[in-house]
Structure 1
Amino acid sequence: MYKLVRNRLEKWPVLAAALFMIIQVFCNLNLPTLTSDMINKGVSTGNTTYIWHTGAKMLGIALIGILASAGNVFFASTQAQKLGTKLRNALFEKVLNFGNHEVDKFGASSLTTRTTNDVLQIQNVTVMILRMMLQAPAMLIGGIIMAYLSEKKLTIVFLVSLPLLAIAIGIVMSFAGPLFSSLQKKIDRINLVFREGLTGVRVVRAFRQDNFEQNRFEDANKSYTDTAIKAFSLVSLMFPIMTLILNGTNIGIIWIGANLVSDRLMEIGNLVSFMTYAAMILFSFMMLSMVFVFIPRAQAAAVRIQEVLDTEYSIKEDSNPTSLNNSELSLEFKNVAFRYAHAERRALESINFNLHSGETLAIIGGTGAGKSTLVNLIPRLYDVESGQINLNGTDISTLSQSKLHEQIAFVQQKAFLFKGTIRSNLQVGKPNATEDEMWHALELAQAAEFIKDLDNGLDSIVEHNGANFSGGQRQRLAIARAIIKPADVYIFDDSFSALDFKTDAKLRKALSNDKKISQSIVIIVAQRIATVTTANQIIVLDEGQNVGKGTHAELKKTNSTYQEIIKSQLKGEDI
């Protein structure tokens, strides 16, 4: 945890919090002594002037203590909140630069928990450290010293009470600590089940799995609840134990003190102040133990956060990136192979092709053939295992990722829209796009017609992930967002799948006739033969292998895999 916070806490505010805490402790430690003097020198002798004078002094010290406590709380709280802000920013920035491999490794639900709940645990414990963990030891040591100076003979009581309290707290912490640590993983589980149930609600209902999902969530929720109850029940035991030991300590102090007072070996004021110091000492011990109970949970959260921050990117950026050669647009795969992490066999093997400005490549094949995997390699969502991908003759692994991504517009298999408006979603592709450019992109994507029918046009609301649009409308908006971007390479990863044949054909024709896109490289991943027939090159994939390459006419005559796909989709005269 120290590694996580040391460079994110500000030096002077932390020192200010410590200074205010010291002032508060100093004030608190002086009040029992003044009470003792008031009883011994004022109440016992009837000296009202001394009582008023000492009372005024106590009031002033108490006021200073209150102000110091407020200052400590202010600096501790603001530093904890700023720490949380910095950690969330650091996590979000890190995750944004993750490759697909890192996202797959942690999972979306776990990354969400680490960015929210785990950071909150760090914030809470930071406040406790700057408040209790600094205050408790100072109060404990100061209280013992002041109690000893007040009446040495009574300190023998602490030889019994403090060891008993330490043993009790140690036993409770030994059981509660691991339980608090496991709570974070159980929150992960709840988030995972809830997220799956929420995003897959239509599938759940379609297969009538409502009860199964409800039971799954109840199991995860019950597991978390049971663990939390055990952990907090153990912690709650410390309060009655504390009360019992404190009362026992007071009984011992009063019993010994009463004998000393009756023998005129101690004044009553000293007995009162000693009892106050005893309460301070035991309460400080209790505060310190409370911090140590919650530290294991915060430590577990810190480890989980640090794990994300320390994760090395699977997509390595060259320390001295090369410049992109802008002489002639080309994209080349040279004997490219790829394997997913921990997979036994390669997902792609010996992929070769070469494209130039104005050419369209279509990739077709069965489910799991490696089509999406291939196009994911172009923007370096994954890195190749062997071989080389060149853009304009330059190895893409030597380019900066920002420069590479500038050249590529990508429509992924699952269309995703951001919450906002149609305008704001199109501005993701080109932030300074004019309204004319937006409508032109929508016309190309065959989306302009239904957008014009909306009351607010470009300013119509888009719900999270485009939930207020149909699948085909979402795809067309995602396509429009991509083609509005000035890019050299346009990738459509099965992005026409939700479109009917007529709209599919009109969209492809519009793309081929567009001046900007006709000068770029277009890559289309498709399942339908009708989508790929007009491509300059078609690659046929089967289990990661390139089993055919050529035009539609060539492959229809010579490639058996392509012929099987045709026969499965078209009838006699259509072939």
Structure 2
Amino acid sequence: MLKLSKKYLVWSAVIAAVLFLIVQVACDLYLPTVTANIIDNGVAKNNIGYIWSEGFKMLFVAMIGVLAAAGNIYFAATQSQKMGKKIRSAMYRKIMYLSDQDLDKFGDASLITRNTNDVVQIQNVMIQVLRMMFMSPIMLIGAISLAFIKSPRLTIVFFVSLIVLAIVVVIIMSFAGPLFKKLQSKTDKLNLIFREGLTGVRVIRAFNRDKYEQQRFDGQNRNYASNGIKVFMIVSLMFPIMTLILSGTNVGIVWFGAKMISNNALAVGNLVAFMTYATQILISFMMLSFMFVFIPRASASAKRINEVLEVETSIKDPEDDRNQNLADKESSLSFEHVNFKYGQDNHLALEDINFSAKRGQTVAIIGETGSGKSSLVNLVPRLYDVTSGEIKLNGLPIQNISQAELHRNISITQQKAVLFTGTIRENMQYGNEHATDDEIWEALKVAKADEFVNDEIGGLDAPVEQNGNNFSGGQKQRLVIARTILKNASVYIFDDSFSALDFKTDAELRMALNKNAKIQNAITLIVAQRISTVANADLILVLRDGKLVGSGTHDELANNNPVYRAILDSQLKKGGANNG
């Protein structure tokens, strides 16, 4: 947590909070002395004038204390909230720049928990640190010193109480600390199950697995609640135990103080002041104890946040990225003996892939499910890095190109059609933020999406709900294809982007793509399941178990490649090889 504090706190504001706190504590410590003076010099001697003057002094000191407390709370609250804001922003920026293989290490549910629940833990503790953590030791030292001045003999009573309190705190911390850490990991699991249920609700209903998923969630929820009950029951024991110790301390002070008063060894006012100081001492120690209980939980959260912020991205930009304007170079793409595997997996997802393409050519990739088609196209924009071999774009190895420049020259439609909440125009401008309405309509026309994006639904200003849920699967695919076309790029990638389209729309869309000027001046990669989608490609790559088992045109492969021929025959039987 110290790392986060150093980086994200404004230290001038922290110093201001501490200064206000010192003034507040000084006022709180001074008030019992004024009370003692009023009792001993005013009430005991029936000096009304002295009582009034000391009363006004007490009122003035109390007002200063209130203003100082307000100043401290303001700086503590603003700093804790701003710190949370900065951490969330830093985590979001970091996540945006992490590669897919880096994100896989954490998981979506865990990242969401770290950016919400864990940050809240940091915020809550930070405001308490700037309040109680600093106040408690100052109050403790000040009250002990002033109490000792009032009566050195009576200080023995609360020294015994402090020892008892310290033992109680150590015992409670030893049980509560580990449970707080477990609570955070259980939060991750709870969020994971909830997120899976939320995103897969249609599948759950379709397979009538409602009860199973409810039981799975309830089981984890009970586990989380059970852990929470344990830890908070342990922590809640501090209140009655400390109240008991505080009450016993006051009884002891009154008992011994009364004897000292009867022997004229202590004034009545000093006893009242001493009891107030004793209360301040024990409450300060209690607040400090609570900080030692809750700080471990915040420390666990801070550790989880730092894991994200400090992770080294596996895909890095070259040190020298000058003279890399790919748009000025002839479009070309080549794979040279490319091997790829996911993480620490020993099995190669792609093995010895070789092919090349130049401007105006369409390369289609076909194969069985799990053959590595999406893995191949994901290597081009460096969503993952090759394990060995080399990929070149416009004559340059992509490892020698900055990611920003690489992504400027690649436009991709991935398997899952992703739309963002907003309007159709806003979603289209993800592809080209400077695109005019005419350019957007042209892209929609090519993608055969203009027929449903019309004035009846609001045109380009038509709303897009979360995940594009107000559109069908085919409509979403056509919208994301239009967004891809709208971008000016050297390579256009369509990763199984036509699967939700009927044969007629598929054929019309591909025909419109082939006539599009941007597509004609670039390289197109198409991942597809249908022979009809890939039949007109300049080069077809046939993958099987991550290996390139055939390449050529449709006619060449249909005559000479048994794997391609098997796919063709299976689709001909279903009537799915119509070239349109």
Q: Same fold (TM over 0.5)?
A: yes
- Partners of 2:5 and 2:250 in 1: CA distance: 41
TM-superposed CA distance for 1:4, in Å, is 1.6
- Partners of 2:514 and 2:152 in 1: CA distance: 96
Alpha carbons of structure 1 residues 572 and 76: separation in structure 2 relative to 1, 3 Å = closer
TM-superposed CA distance for 1:572, in Å, is 10
TM-superposed CA distance for 1:69, in Å, is 0.3
Which residues of 2 match residues 7-86 of structure 1 at below 5 A? 7-86=7-86
Partner of 1:260: 260
* Secondary structure of the corresponding residue to residue 454 of structure 1: coil
Partner of 1:306: 306
- Partners of 2:223 and 2:111 in 1: CA distance: 21
* Secondary structure of the corresponding residue to residue 410 of structure 1: strand
- Partners of 2:177 and 2:34 in 1: CA distance: 40
Aligned-residue RMSD, C-alpha: 1.1
Partner of 1:497: 499
Partner of 2:458: 456
TM-superposed CA distance for 1:399, in Å, is 0.6
TM-superposed CA distance for 1:266, in Å, is 0.9
Contact 1:109 1:188 in 2 (8 A): yes
- 1:558 pairs with 2:557: no
TM-superposed CA distance for 1:189, in Å, is 1.1
Partner of 2:189: 189
Partner of 1:278: 278
- 1:531 pairs with 2:551: no
Which residues of 2 match residues 315-330 of structure 1 at below 5 A? 315-322=315-322, 323-324=324-325, 326-330=328-332
1:386 to 364, 385, 388: 388
Partner of 2:94: 94
Partner of 1:344: 346
**1:458 maps to amino acid:** L
TM-superposed CA distance for 1:174, in Å, is 1.1
* Secondary structure of the corresponding residue to residue 220 of structure 2: helix
Moved more, 321-330 or 143-152: 321-330
- Partners of 1:192 and 1:439 in 2: CA distance: 40
TM-superposed CA distance for 1:324, in Å, is 3.9
- Partners of 1:289 and 1:250 in 2: CA distance: 20
**1:123 maps to amino acid:** Q
User: Could you list the runs of 5+ residues in structure 1 that have no partner in the other structure?
Assistant: none
Partner of 2:169: 169
- Partners of 1:287 and 1:221 in 2: CA distance: 31
- Partners of 1:108 and 1:393 in 2: CA distance: 36
- Partners of 1:266 and 1:327 in 2: CA distance: 94
After the TM superposition, which segments of 4 or more aligned residues of structure 1 sit over 2 Å from their partners? 324-327, 571-575
Cα deviations across residues 136-180 of structure 1 (Å, max 9, x unaligned)?
000001010000001111111123211111111111111111111
TM-superposed CA distance for 1:453, in Å, is 5.9
- Partners of 2:337 and 2:253 in 1: CA distance: 86
- 1:209 pairs with 2:219: no
Alpha carbons of structure 1 residues 59 and 502: separation in structure 2 relative to 1, 3 Å = same
- 1:251 pairs with 2:222: no
Alpha carbons of structure 1 residues 147 and 572: separation in structure 2 relative to 1, 3 Å = closer
- Partners of 1:457 and 1:572 in 2: CA distance: 38
- Partners of 1:336 and 1:525 in 2: CA distance: 18
- Partners of 1:120 and 1:160 in 2: CA distance: 37
- Partners of 1:546 and 1:393 in 2: CA distance: 22
* Secondary structure of the corresponding residue to residue 331 of structure 1: strand
TM-superposed CA distance for 1:213, in Å, is 0.6
1:570 to 560, 565, 572: 572
**2:67 maps to amino acid:** L
* Secondary structure of the corresponding residue to residue 414 of structure 1: coil
**2:311 maps to amino acid:** T
Partner of 1:6: 6
Partner of 1:127: 127
Partner of 1:357: 359
TM-superposed CA distance for 1:455, in Å, is 2.8
Partner of 2:397: 395
- Partners of 2:386 and 2:504 in 1: CA distance: 37
* Secondary structure of the corresponding residue to residue 352 of structure 1: strand
Contact 1:335 1:387 in 2 (8 A): yes
Cα deviations across residues 207-264 of structure 1 (Å, max 9, x unaligned)?
1110011111111111111111111111111111111111111111111111111111
- Partners of 1:265 and 1:5 in 2: CA distance: 50
- Partners of 1:571 and 1:3 in 2: CA distance: 64
Moved more, 245-254 or 219-228: 219-228
**2:32 maps to amino acid:** P
Partner of 2:409: 407
Cα deviations across residues 385-437 of structure 1 (Å, max 9, x unaligned)?
11111111101111110000000000001111001111110010011111111
TM-superposed CA distance for 1:200, in Å, is 0.2
Alpha carbons of structure 1 residues 565 and 33: separation in structure 2 relative to 1, 3 Å = same
- Partners of 1:536 and 1:324 in 2: CA distance: 27
- Partners of 2:208 and 2:148 in 1: CA distance: 72
- 1:433 pairs with 2:432: no
Contact 1:38 1:50 in 2 (8 A): yes
**1:384 maps to amino acid:** V
**1:346 maps to amino acid:** L
**1:158 maps to amino acid:** F
* Secondary structure of the corresponding residue to residue 8 of structure 2: coil
- Partners of 2:56 and 2:379 in 1: CA distance: 77
* Secondary structure of the corresponding residue to residue 449 of structure 1: coil
- Partners of 1:30 and 1:343 in 2: CA distance: 68
- Partners of 1:526 and 1:560 in 2: CA distance: 18
Partner of 1:469: 471
* Secondary structure of the corresponding residue to residue 428 of structure 1: coil
Partner of 2:226: 226
- Partners of 2:517 and 2:243 in 1: CA distance: 82
- Partners of 1:570 and 1:31 in 2: CA distance: 94
**1:303 maps to amino acid:** K
Contact 1:430 1:484 in 2 (8 A): yes
- Partners of 2:116 and 2:554 in 1: CA distance: 52
Partner of 1:293: 293
- Partners of 1:30 and 1:122 in 2: CA distance: 33
Alpha carbons of structure 1 residues 538 and 59: separation in structure 2 relative to 1, 3 Å = same
TM-superposed CA distance for 1:76, in Å, is 0.5
- Partners of 1:112 and 1:454 in 2: CA distance: 38
- Number of aligned residue pairs: give it: 575
Contact 1:324 1:399 in 2 (8 A): no
- Partners of 2:91 and 2:149 in 1: CA distance: 51
- Partners of 1:572 and 1:88 in 2: CA distance: 52
- 1:442 pairs with 2:444: yes
- Partners of 1:281 and 1:447 in 2: CA distance: 73
- Partners of 1:388 and 1:4 in 2: CA distance: 39
Partner of 2:118: 118
Cα deviations across residues 31-77 of structure 1 (Å, max 9, x unaligned)?
00111111000000000101001111010000000000000000000
* Secondary structure of the corresponding residue to residue 167 of structure 1: helix
TM-score (norm 1): 0.99
* Secondary structure of the corresponding residue to residue 492 of structure 1: strand
- Partners of 2:455 and 2:560 in 1: CA distance: 47
Partner of 2:146: 146
Contact 1:454 1:460 in 2 (8 A): no
Partner of 1:375: 377
- Partners of 1:237 and 1:272 in 2: CA distance: 29
TM-superposed CA distance for 1:363, in Å, is 0.3
TM-superposed CA distance for 1:329, in Å, is 1.3
